[in-house]
Amino acid sequence: MEEQEPKNAPRRRFSRFQLVVRPDEESERIAERIREALLRSGFELAEAPELVIAVGGDGTMLEAFHRYYPKVPEAAFVGLHTGTLGFYADWKRYEADWMIETILKTEAPRIVEYPLVAAIFEYKDGRRHRHLALNETIVRSKTLSTFVVDVWINGDRFETFRGDGLILSTPSGSTAYSHSVGGSILHPSIAALQVSELAAINNVEYRTLGRSFILPRHHVLDIYPMHPDGEMLVGVDGNVFYAQGVVRIQAHVAEEKVRFARYRDFPFWQRVRMKFLGD
């Protein structure tokens, strides 16, 4: 079975849409064609879209997610990739016309939901900021000095991590940064949070698990920085910020999910094969 299909998925034709486009000539040209065709057929551009079309790369889908998910969490996303292969894109650069035609003639596309990871940053002064990631949240040292944190799982101490940082990845993020550091690939129908190490120090003095590990829904990871006054570098799906005074980062599989409009099948394992094994 491909990804999970929600029981209460809306079963009607979309009419309000938005485009998020990578700023390059080809993506802009294709996006313009899509925009004109949809507008001509009665679709309208709307601030609260039902359908968000990302034209570009996986990075463009991440951008689309962060731009529209907070405003319209029920919006459905669909991607057209203008590079080689996109994990978040069902359509390729030369399939734009086919994609337009399919969007226009499909009464109600299949909706699949992907899990997200929530990370709540708690600061010394009591502030709390919650970040949702579609790929991953990365916490790491800002400088070349060691990132030292205590890691707890479900209220029990697990390990003291010393190294560059940790990646808190979603299942769909398992083919991104997490994959580059040796994490496992997870099918996005598995609601899980994968934790991976960035250059952990392991010797007679210091010890970490040394492997990625995967938490199911409802399990909670707590990260307590040893030096909360220091600055850390945080990356949420490629958006970077510095955080100072962080006393705890609590991460778990989010209650929310993101929706994708599947106008046609493109099984996850086929994408994996094409991307990592060649066609």
Judged by beta carbon, residue 38 or residue 61, the one nearer ligand NAP is 61
Cβ neighbours of 91 (radius 10 Å):
24
Under the criterion CB under 6 A, does residue 86 sit at the interface with ligand NAP?
Answer: yes
Under the criterion CB under 5 A, does residue 228 sit at the interface with Mn ion?
Answer: no
Under the criterion CB under 6 A, does residue 92 sit at the interface with ligand NAP?
Answer: no
**Catalytic site includes residue 222:** no
Under the criterion CB under 6 A, does residue 62 sit at the interface with ligand NAP?
Answer: yes
| Cα–Cα dist 245/12, whole Å | 47
Q: Residue 111: which of 219, 225, 257 has the closest Cα?
A: 257
Cβ neighbours of 242 (radius 10 Å):
9
Helix/strand/coil for 179? helix
| Cα–Cα dist 50/134, whole Å | 19
Judged by beta carbon, residue 110 or residue 179, the one nearer ligand NAP is 179
28, two tokens: 């802009």
Annotated binding residue at 59? yes
Q: How far is CA 38 from CA 21, 35, 158, 277, in A?
A: 16, 5, 52, 36
Among 43, 177, 224, 260, binds ligand NAP (CB under 6 A): 177
Annotated binding residue at 175? yes
Annotated binding residue at 265? no
Q: How far is the CB of 210 from Mn ion (least distance, A)?
A: 30
| Cα–Cα dist 137/222, whole Å | 14
| Cα–Cα dist 22/60, whole Å | 6
Per-position x/- string for 110-139, each x denoting binding to ligand NAP as judged by CB under 6 A, each - no binding: -------------------------xx---
Annotated binding residue at 202? no
Assess contact for 232 and 140: CB atoms under 8 A. Answer: yes
Q: How far is the CB of 271 from ligand NAP (least distance, A)?
A: 8
Judged by beta carbon, residue 151 or residue 168, the one nearer ligand NAP is 168
243-272 core/surface letters (b: 16 or more CB in 10 A; e: else): bebbebbbbbbbeebbbbbbbeebebeebb
Q: How far is the CB of 239 from Mn ion (least distance, A)?
A: 12
Query: CB under 5 to 8 A by kind: which of ligand NAP, Mn ion, none does 87 bind?
Result: ligand NAP
Under the criterion CB under 6 A, does residue 87 sit at the interface with ligand NAP?
Answer: yes
Binding-site residues for NAD(+): 58-59, 135-136, 162, 164, 175-180, 199, 239
Catalytic residues: 58
Which residues are near ligand NAP by CB under 6 A?
57-59, 62, 83, 86-87, 135-136, 172-173, 175-177, 180, 237-238
Binding site for Mn ion (CB under 5 A): 57, 59
